[in-house]
Amino acid sequence: MDNEVMQQVLIFTTLLIPIVTAVVQVVKNTVTLPNNVLPIVSLVVGLGIGSVAFPFTEMDIVLRLWAGAFAGLGGTGLYEVFNNRIGTTK
Protein backbone atom coordinates (compact mmCIF):
# COMPACT_ATOMS: atom_id res chain seq x y z
CA MET A 1 0.00 0.00 0.00
CA ASP A 2 1.28 3.44 -0.91
CA ASN A 3 2.40 5.84 1.84
CA GLU A 4 0.11 8.56 0.48
CA VAL A 5 -2.90 6.25 0.72
CA MET A 6 -2.07 5.36 4.33
CA GLN A 7 -1.70 9.04 5.17
CA GLN A 8 -5.17 9.69 3.74
CA VAL A 9 -6.61 6.84 5.82
CA LEU A 10 -4.98 8.15 9.00
CA ILE A 11 -6.12 11.72 8.34
CA PHE A 12 -9.67 10.49 7.69
CA THR A 13 -9.48 8.39 10.87
CA THR A 14 -8.45 11.47 12.84
CA LEU A 15 -11.51 13.31 11.54
CA LEU A 16 -13.85 10.40 12.33
CA ILE A 17 -12.73 9.73 15.91
CA PRO A 18 -14.60 12.65 17.54
CA ILE A 19 -17.74 11.87 15.55
CA VAL A 20 -17.67 8.18 16.46
CA THR A 21 -16.94 9.00 20.10
CA ALA A 22 -19.90 11.40 20.23
CA VAL A 23 -22.30 8.88 18.66
CA VAL A 24 -21.17 6.14 21.05
CA GLN A 25 -21.64 8.52 23.97
CA VAL A 26 -25.22 9.18 22.81
CA VAL A 27 -25.82 5.42 22.56
CA LYS A 28 -24.38 4.92 26.06
CA ASN A 29 -26.70 7.56 27.50
CA THR A 30 -29.87 6.35 25.77
CA VAL A 31 -29.63 2.55 25.78
CA THR A 32 -28.72 0.26 28.66
CA LEU A 33 -25.89 -1.96 27.46
CA PRO A 34 -23.31 -4.12 29.21
CA ASN A 35 -19.99 -2.29 29.34
CA ASN A 36 -18.18 -5.17 27.67
CA VAL A 37 -20.07 -4.64 24.37
CA LEU A 38 -19.22 -0.92 24.07
CA PRO A 39 -16.04 -1.52 22.02
CA ILE A 40 -18.07 -3.63 19.57
CA VAL A 41 -20.72 -0.89 19.38
CA SER A 42 -17.97 1.65 18.76
CA LEU A 43 -16.46 -0.52 16.02
CA VAL A 44 -19.84 -0.95 14.30
CA VAL A 45 -20.56 2.79 14.56
CA GLY A 46 -17.12 3.56 13.11
CA LEU A 47 -17.66 1.17 10.22
CA GLY A 48 -21.10 2.67 9.56
CA ILE A 49 -19.91 6.26 9.61
CA GLY A 50 -16.88 5.38 7.50
CA SER A 51 -19.02 3.67 4.89
CA VAL A 52 -21.50 6.53 4.50
CA ALA A 53 -18.82 9.22 4.34
CA PHE A 54 -18.43 8.94 0.56
CA PRO A 55 -19.51 12.55 -0.16
CA PHE A 56 -16.56 13.84 1.89
CA THR A 57 -13.74 11.80 0.39
CA GLU A 58 -12.80 10.07 -2.83
CA MET A 59 -11.30 7.06 -1.06
CA ASP A 60 -12.46 3.56 -1.96
CA ILE A 61 -15.02 1.89 0.28
CA VAL A 62 -12.41 -0.50 1.67
CA LEU A 63 -10.20 2.38 2.79
CA ARG A 64 -13.17 4.21 4.33
CA LEU A 65 -14.10 1.05 6.22
CA TRP A 66 -10.53 0.72 7.50
CA ALA A 67 -10.59 4.36 8.64
CA GLY A 68 -13.97 3.78 10.32
CA ALA A 69 -12.69 0.67 12.07
CA PHE A 70 -9.61 2.52 13.31
CA ALA A 71 -11.80 5.39 14.51
CA GLY A 72 -14.18 3.02 16.27
CA LEU A 73 -11.43 1.19 18.07
CA GLY A 74 -9.58 4.41 18.83
CA GLY A 75 -12.74 6.03 20.13
CA THR A 76 -13.20 3.57 22.96
CA GLY A 77 -9.65 2.43 23.36
CA LEU A 78 -8.44 -0.84 21.94
CA TYR A 79 -7.42 -2.03 25.41
CA GLU A 80 -11.09 -2.19 26.48
CA VAL A 81 -11.69 -5.03 24.04
CA PHE A 82 -9.47 -7.23 26.18
CA ASN A 83 -10.62 -5.92 29.57
CA ASN A 84 -13.23 -7.72 31.63
CA ARG A 85 -15.79 -4.97 32.08
CA ILE A 86 -18.69 -5.65 34.40
CA GLY A 87 -21.78 -3.47 34.71
CA THR A 88 -24.03 -1.55 32.37
CA THR A 89 -24.24 1.90 30.86
CA LYS A 90 -26.71 4.65 31.65
How do residues 59-82 score in pLDDT, each as one tens digit? 899 999 999 999 998 877 654 555
Share of the chain above pLDDT 90, in %: 41
Tell me how far CA of residue 89 lies from CA of 18, 45, 65, 74, in angstroms: 20, 17, 27, 19
Whole-prediction pTM: 0.80
Tell me the backbone φ, ψ of residue 34, rounded to 5 degrees: -65, 140
